Amino acid sequence: MKKQVSLEIIPKQVQKVESIPKGLVDDIYVTYIPGSAPGDVVNASETILSYGFNPIPHCPARTIPDEEFLINYIDALVKVGVTNILIIGGSVSSPKGKFSSSIDLLNTGLFQQSKIKSINIAGHPEGNPDDEDHFENMIHKCKWLGTNNFETNIVTQWCLSPDITNSWIRKTKTQLKNIRVKCEIHLGIAGPAKLTTILRYAKICGVSASASVFMKQGLDIRKIINHKPDNILEKLTGYDKLHIYPFGGINEFLKWYDNTSIQ
């Protein structure tokens, strides 16, 4: 029996979630696209709950202008039933306000005062152009979350290089063991899609690190995308769960998942 996976959507895709069979997906992450309204994320999260899935909305630090905005955003999410979030730096290069990184959000103390139970963080196996010390900062956040009694998992950006990613997984698990924090690695992978579609989403979501791998490995990546993600997945080991970015659409993801042999 295949394990459940998590899925990532943008708010305007939320109505398509209803067609996903129960038992296939548990968590559905809702992106907070730069320039969009927080209400879009809140409404999408409420709809996801009504369909029987667990919404995990994004909370991007550089998009949050101040504490008041953050309080209102958290309160609105909690009011519709959200208990899990993903904090990230965000894809905008310049902060909209006083927060430049996800640790800045954590240090406000506002999450400890809320009913949020689980705070997931991002991992970047193939690098993060916005943070040279991304690995050390990720481990620091894991330690902070463990110390403050939050459940947490690392959800990675979509991966393209099995060798780099496998090395990152081993290194991450070693560090988590050293700091004695229980934390799963949820490995991001792009669902079946055309290369042009993935590059378009990369631009929207600020995925410059993974997009650069596409450009450098164009021939091999085109082969992978024109077929299915199995070409990458069969070489990856040590992760705890798959996190799917359905760039080709939810229907294409469902078709692929029905036919893949990946567990």
User: pLDDT at position 241, please?
Assistant: 95
Q: What percentage of residues in the chain have a pLDDT greater than 90?
A: 63
CA distance to 55, 217, 242, per residue, from 82 (Å): 7, 39, 21
Least confident residue range of 10-14, 171-175, 252-256 = 252-256
Determine which helix (DSSP H) or strand (DSSP E) holds 204, and give its type and residue range.
Answer: helix 195-205
Q: How confident is the model at residue 192 (pLDDT cuts 50, 70, 90)?
A: confident
Neighbour tally for 75: CB within 10 Å = 13
Q: Are 57 and 86 in contact (CB under 8 A)?
A: yes
Q: Where are the domains of the chain?
A: 5-259
Q: Does the pLDDT at position 219 exceed 80? A: no
226-252: per-residue pLDDT in tens? Answer: 546 887 898 999 999 999 999 878 888
Q: Domain 5-259 is in which class?
A: alpha beta
Q: In which residue are the tokens 């999408």 written? A: 44
What's the rounded Cα separation, in Å, for the pair 153 and 145? 10
The Cα–Cα gap between 254 and 249 comes to 9
Rounded Cα distance, 241 and 8, in Å: 14
Mean pLDDT of 103-115: 95
Q: What are the residues whose beta carbons fall under 8 Å from the beta carbon of 130, sequence distance 6 or more?
A: 89, 93, 206
Residue 174 exposed, middle or buried by CB count within 10 Å (0-12, 13-18, 19+): exposed
Residue 189 β-bridge partners = 244
Using alpha carbons, list the distances in angstroms from residue 173 to 64, 127, 235, 251: 31, 17, 18, 34
pLDDT of amino acid 142: 97
**pTM flag (> 0.85):** yes
The dihedral formed by the CA atoms of 84, 127, 234 and 173, expressed in degrees to the nearest 10: -60
Task: Quote the pLDDT of residue 194.
Answer: 73
- pLDDT value, residue 174: 97
pLDDT of residue 249: 85
On the 0-12 / 13-18 / 19+ scale of CB atoms within 10 A, 231 is middle
pLDDT computed for residue 190 by the predictor: 86
> pLDDT band at 202, cuts 50/70/90?
low
Tell me the one-letter amino acid at 180.
R
Q: In terms of Cα–Cα distance, which of 73, 13, 24 is closest to 47?
A: 13
Burial class (CB in 10 A: 0-12, 13-18, 19+), 50: middle
